[in-house]
Amino acid sequence: MRTESTRWLRFWLSGLLTLACLGQAQAAGEYELKAAFLYNFALFTEWPGAPATMKFCVLGHDPFGKAISPLSQKSVHGVTVQVTHIESAAEARSCQVLFIASSEHPNVPAIFEQLRDEPVLTVAESNGFDRKMVMIVMVSANNRVGFDISQSAAQQAGLKLSSQLLKLARQVQ
């Protein structure tokens, strides 16, 4: 398992470095990269119990367009990925990974209340909200995408984030 994780990490890093070198963190390319980040966040997360389907949900105005669709052809921990768009935080309780679109950032406190203690990996883009409520915040700057992690939020939800993922974060709280 350790060598498989190391191999995935190397593969992920080489892909991210290639994309960063090509300067594709703009427009549609930015969201292709962010979709790849979502997938890799899931690879380096452990959920309590084994879900039948690895449900990736987008809440709010979808910035990904077609960039997130290829994830439906993948699997995480041997479980098929399903990408879906949802309308409310209540629907997010059935998700394993929740991307909170910037249109929903004013609602983050209410979303957090709905998902408190639920094993849902929450991911958003930086926009000035309390980052302790969202587990992973993706930050775009200078044609690069980085991320910050709230490990305490993940632990509260019963999720275990890989130490390899924590090492790649810009900040861990």
Percent of the chain whose predicted confidence (pLDDT) is above 70: 81
Domain extents for the chain? 2-172
Taking the CB of residue 125, how many other CB atoms lie within 10 A of it?
A: 19
Residue 102: CA count within 13 A, CB half-sphere: 8
The whole-number pLDDT of residue 147 equals: 94
pLDDT reading at 85 higher than 90:
yes
pLDDT reading at 117 higher than 90:
no
pTM: 0.83
Mean pLDDT of 141-164: 92
Per-residue CA distances from 113 to 30, 45, 46, 59 (Å): 30, 22, 22, 15
pLDDT reading at 159 higher than 50:
yes
Distance from the Cα of residue 80 to its chain's centroid: 16
The whole-number pLDDT of residue 11 equals: 47
Classified by CATH at the fold level, domain 2-172 comes out as: Rossmann fold (3.40.50)
pLDDT tens digits, 12-59: 544 444 344 334 444 558 899 999 999 999 999 999 988 889 999 999
